[in-house]
Amino acid sequence: MRLIDENGVQVGIIGIREALALAEERGFDLVEVAPNAVPPVCRLLDYGKFRYEQSQKEREARRNQKQADLKQIRLMPKTAEHDITTKANQARKFLLQGDKVKFNVRFRGREMAHPDIGRKMLEDIAEQLRDIAVVEQKPLLEGRVLSLLLAPNPKVLKAAQQAQKEKARQARVQEVAEERTAIPEADEELDEETDLQAEELDAEGDLLDETLDDEELDDDEFDDEDERDRGPRLRK
């Protein structure tokens, strides 16, 4: 087998036992990454970490991938040409967003005798949207409904997916920015609370100092009285 080490450097072509011994010595797993190559290619890596990173990438890809919705537009054989153009423009918006569009022409009563009218209508719509759409299902009559299914072409679909991915990225950037903005506000509230506590401590300290001063004054008065009491005894 051809072995690649944990740093991406090719070790060369070695036997499987030697590769297993090297993997055990370095504390990595021996993983086959290209089984169809000649000789097969294996790599030294942390398989648990590798699987975790792969699952994270797959989850990110699924989150950024836009799920195509099916939009349905109803028509009648008697729909005016101006209204058909309006419906086609509406379908164009859906297709540019990466959605599929299904046109349904519903026949009533004697209208069933002229399905070619509805078929011609759907073919004209498909022609108008040919620059951005492909026909996924040609006009198909099911009961009294003639349907045409259009899907965005690969170029339009890729652009829609990229736009969705960019939108999701901007949303994440906005969330991070809001979180960072909220942090200084919390710090300001903490600073205000700290300043308030400091002011309360200073007020308590001043009050304590005043109490101590009063006690010192009481001690001075006590010393004066003690001296007066002592005076007569000393004169005796």
Which of 152, 187, 211 finishes a domain? 152
- Looking at the domain assignment, is residue 98 inside a domain? yes
Q: Give yes or no for a contact between 73 and 91, defined as CB atoms under 8 angstroms apart.
A: yes
**Does the pLDDT value for residue 223 go beyond 90?**
no
**Does the pLDDT value for residue 222 go beyond 50?**
no
On whether both 74 and 132 belong to a single domain, the answer is yes
What is the average per-residue pLDDT within 95-108? Answer: 93
Which of 33, 64, 95 finishes a domain? 64
Which of 47, 64, 81 finishes a domain? 64
**pTM tops 0.85, yes or no:** no
- Between the alpha carbon of residue 161 and those of residues 108, 130, 152, 166, the distances in Å are 39, 20, 11, 9
- Structure confidence at residue 127 (pLDDT): 93
pLDDT digits (tens, 9 = 90+) for 39-89: 899 999 888 888 888 888 877 766 655 566 899 999 999 999 899 999 999
The closest of 47, 20, 165, 39 to 98, measured between CA atoms, is 165
What percent of the chain is predicted at pLDDT more than 70?
A: 72
- Looking at the domain assignment, is residue 76 inside a domain? yes
**Does the pLDDT value for residue 229 go beyond 70?**
no
Give the integer Cα–Cα distance in Å for 216 and 108.
109
For 32, counting Cβ atoms within 10 Å of its Cβ (0-12 exposed, 13-18 middle, 19+ buried), the class is exposed
Domain with 36 in it: 2-64
Query: Among 124-128, 170-174, 216-220, 221-225, which range has the highest average pLDDT?
Result: 124-128
**Does the pLDDT value for residue 118 go beyond 60?**
yes
**Does the pLDDT value for residue 134 go beyond 90?**
yes
Domain count for the chain: 2
On whether both 39 and 92 belong to a single domain, the answer is no
